Structure 1
Amino acid sequence: MLALSQPAYVLHSRAYRESSALVDFLTPQGRLRAVLRGARGKAGTLARPFIPLELETRGRGELKNVGRLEAAGIPNLLSGNALFSGMYLNELLIRVLPAEDPHPALFEQYALTVLALAQGRSLEPLLRAFEWRLLDELGYGFALDSDVQGDAIAATGLYRLQADSGLLPIGHWQPGAFLGSELLAMAEANWEAPGALAAAKRLMRQALAPHLGGRPLVSRELFMTFKEPIRD
């Protein structure tokens, strides 16, 4: 039986049969699902999100078995808005990231983002950076400083996102449009620029929507219901 050991984070866990758990993990080799037996014991206490883990799985099929699960670092303790943000990242990965599709750079970005959330860093720039990296890793990224025709974004221009291709210049304002100055600020990660963060949130929602299958994200709805005032 093939055994593979690698760093991992738990994305989601649910009860499975009498004493096992069905766990979705994020690893450098991609998202995978495995059965954790004896989930009510010591291993079960580790099968929680945001804990750096060392995971050993066994099996060749889509549903593997956890052979070994150990802590590999200090748990990232998230609460309040940071916790909802972490839940959002986990649900986004489960919904968008194909199973067993290796993305080591995305795994590293996730680890750094969860650590930054635990440290109390400003939420919105962290989330937008991760969403952008996810889109880029999956091949859905697009330029922020040039349009679909290859022309440079004009600060005074108006643009809309054209699915699967990029930013299309438009002649007049329409719902969902973006100012060129906002797009240029995003390209430079200049979150102090007026409107840049709000525009980035709208842009990422538009870019991710085709890949979510029309179903809303539960974590996003929970965040809107229970969110605390954000203090940067």
Structure 2
Amino acid sequence: MEWRDEGIILGTRKHGESSAILEVMTRARGRHLGMVKGGRSRKMQPLLQPGNRVDLVWRARLDEHLGFFQVEPIELHAARLFDSACAVFGLQTLATHLRLLPERDPHPHLYETLGVLLQHLEEPEVAGELVVRFELMVLEELGFGLDLSQCAATGQVEDLTYVSPKSGRAVSREAGAPWADRMLALPSFLLRGSGLRADPEALEEAYRLTAFFFERHVYQPRGIGAPEARVGFLGALRRHYANRP
């Protein structure tokens, strides 16, 4: 078995004396693992860093085997990203979210979005918006997508202010008013076509929104906790806004 694809490195772990197990998000084959012979060498270590975009050739005797990767560079983002706490924690958060998906299950839209994020992870005000949109995409791919297009009660598309914690659907200000204390806030910048940017308060609301549905639909059923990297990423965002002139 053999295939060729491009991928973005999510992580590595040691294997034996000199090899490494490489984890990548590929364009056509989703999240994929493979062994890299000599992956712990001085020559290979700078290449096999999270965030780097690489050309991959995978070979194995059978499709279900771990297989071996041959890796060549395309874009080396890692050195730039490592200088920013926001970027480091952001990339770790994205990788953790991608590990919620089945291995070798294609998700081309997530791959393309991950590529865009790599260009902006060290820019906190851009990364804050992009990562929470990525979280919404992951929920969608897992089958728990939110419907923020119209009010669940009235069908109207204007003045959408809340999200129902039961249905994951948007609710207008008027329709949700009687149950406002039970609703989740819907930041306006998340609405399609709004053209709005997020301020610190809106970002906090957005991440509370996605965290609620990850906890309900993903973490609790699987018996796992929220990723620590996400806590670090949100902390880096808060520090940025606190220190902004």
Q: Which category describes the TM-score, using the shorter chain as reference length?
A: 0.7 to 0.9
Identify the residue that residue 173 of structure 1 maps to in structure 2: 180
Q: How does 1:117-136 map to 2 (within 5 A)?
A: 117-118=121-122, 122-136=126-140
**Aligned residue for 2:227?**
217
SS of the equivalent of 1:10 reads strand
Of 204, 207, 219, which residue of structure 2 is paired with 1:201?
207
Residues 97 and 138, structure 2, Cα contact 8 Å, conserved in 1:
no
**1:230 matches 2:237:** no
Amino acid across the alignment from 2:51: F
User: What's the CA shift for 1:51?
Assistant: 0.8
Tell me the percent identity: 22
| Displacement after TM superposition at 1:200 (Å) | 1.3
Q: Identify the residue that residue 164 of structure 2 maps to in structure 1.
A: 160
Mapped partners of 1:49, 1:116: distance in 2: 15
**Kept after mapping to 2: 8 A contact 1:57/1:64:** no
The question of whether the paired residues in 2 share the 8 Å contact of 1:4 and 1:56 is answered with: yes
Match of 2:66 in 1: 64
- Note the C-alpha offset of 1:154: 6.1
**Count of residues in Structure 1 that have an aligned counterpart in Structure 2:** 226
Q: Does the 8 A contact of 2:51 with 2:76 survive in 1?
A: no
* Shift in CA distance, 11/226, structure 1 to aligned 2, threshold 3 Å: same
1:86 Cα offset (Å): 1.2
> Hey, what's the Cα distance between the residues in 1 that align with 2:123 and 2:160?
37
1:157-177 Cα offsets, whole Å, 9 max, x none, are 6542226x53466532335x2
Contact (CA 8 Å) 1:3, 1:56: kept in 2 or not? yes
Name 1:90's counterpart in structure 2.
Answer: 95
TM-superposition CA deviations, 1:202-223 (whole Å, max 9, x none): 1111222222333221312444
**1:52 and 2:57 equivalent?**
no
Equivalent pair of 1:9/1:51 in contact (CA under 8 Å): yes
Contact 1:33 1:63 survives alignment (8 Å): no
Give 1:74 deviation, angstroms: 3.5
Counterpart CA distance in 2 for 1:128 and 1:223 is 11
- In structure 1, list runs of 5 or more residues that go unmatched: none
How far the C-alpha of 1:98 sits from its partner, in A, is: 1.2
**Where does the alignment leave 5 or more consecutive residues of structure 2 unmatched?**
none
Q: Which amino acid aligns with 2:17?
A: E
Structure 1: which amino acid aligns with 2:15? Y
Deviations 1:176-202 (A, max 9, x none): x234xx354421352347943222111
Give TM-score, length-normalised by structure 2: 0.78
The 3 A distance-change label for structure 1 pair 225 and 194 is closer
What is the alpha-carbon root mean square deviation over aligned residues? 2.9
Q: Does 1:14 align with 2:13?
A: yes
Q: What code does the residue aligned with 1:166 have?
A: R
Q: What's the secondary structure of 1:54's corresponding residue?
A: strand
Q: Which amino acid aligns with 2:226?
A: P
Q: Distance in 2 between matches of 1:68 and 1:204?
A: 37
1:229 maps to amino acid = R
